[in-house]
Structure formats: structure tokens, C-alpha cells
Amino acid sequence: MGADPTRGFQLADALLPLTGDDVVLVFVPGRHNRDVEAILTHAERTGAEVILVTSSLDRRLGDRVLVTLPAPMSDTKVTGEITTASMITDILVTAVAGRSVDRSTVTADLLTQLRADLDEEPSRGGRAR
């Protein structure tokens, strides 16, 4: 199966609003690829800071990021990079949310409502999933 040709366009769309006021969280387990390079280059252009989460690329990319968080693979290989990435994401989200509790609460409530709306069957005129 070939690469998804829309993937690059979607990444470009996501990077477009990036400014020097932003921080980009980049998960790069072990491969430095074209997408990672585009993110780092655009962050450098805009002045956005980058937090890198990686199992092995800290030496290669460390001078291009604000901070590197190690995400080592398990010795047993029972847990993979997804487990570590999920834990780091939860920790960072909790830390950021704690800085603006009111905004975080409103956003969490809205997210819950949107998810509930997306989970419901359309009432009229729409197609059922």
C-alpha cells in the first residue's frame, strides 16, 4: 500500500497557524522522516518552541528543540512507544490544564458535548451511520 497523498496536505494545514507564541509537541519514536523535518523547520521559521518526545533521536535532534523528553522502549517489548507517549501526553495535558482551570473545564465540557453529539444518530434529514 502506498503513502497517503493527503497526509502532507493535512500536516501543512495543521502547521499553517503556528506562531512564535506556540509550543509544538513532537513524538518521534525512532525515525527522523520528512514530516518531522517539516515540523522542525517550520517551528524554527516561526519561532515556535518544540518539545521532542523520542526513544532514540535526542542526540540527532536535540539542538533543534527546547527540551527532549525520553520515551524509552520497554526492555520486555511488552509495552511499546504508544504506552509511553500516552503517559507523557496525559502528564503534559494535566500540567497545562492546571494553569487555567476555568478554561480547561469549559473546554472539557464542550469536548464531552461534541463527542456525545457525534455519537448520536441524526434526528432528521441526516444519514444514519
Q: What's the farthest any 2 CA atoms get from each other in the chain?
A: 56
Task: Classify the C-alpha dihedral 88-117-16-3 as positive or negative.
Answer: positive
Mean pLDDT of the chain: 82
- Model confidence pLDDT, tens digit, residues 66-78: 998 887 776 666 6
Give the SS3 label for residue 50.
Answer: strand
- Reading the block at residue 62, the C-alpha cell is 536535540
- Reading the block at residue 110, the C-alpha cell is 464542550
1 confidence band (pLDDT: 50, 70, 90): very low
d(CA 70, CA 49): 17
Please state which architecture CATH assigns to domain 22-119: 3-Layer(aba) Sandwich (3.40)
Q: Which of 25, 34, 107, 36 is nearest to 71 (CA)?
A: 25
- Reading the block at residue 92, the C-alpha cell is 503534559
Check: pTM over 0.85? Answer yes or no. Answer: no
- Model confidence pLDDT, tens digit, residues 7-44: 667 889 999 999 999 999 998 877 778 899 999 999 99
4 confidence band (pLDDT: 50, 70, 90): low
d(CA 12, CA 8): 6
- Reading the block at residue 45, the C-alpha cell is 521559521
d(CA 11, CA 55): 22
- At residue 129, what is the residue type? R
- At residue 97, what is the residue type? A
- Model confidence pLDDT, tens digit, residues 116-126: 888 876 665 55
Domain limits, the chain: 22-119
Average pLDDT over residues 87-107: 85
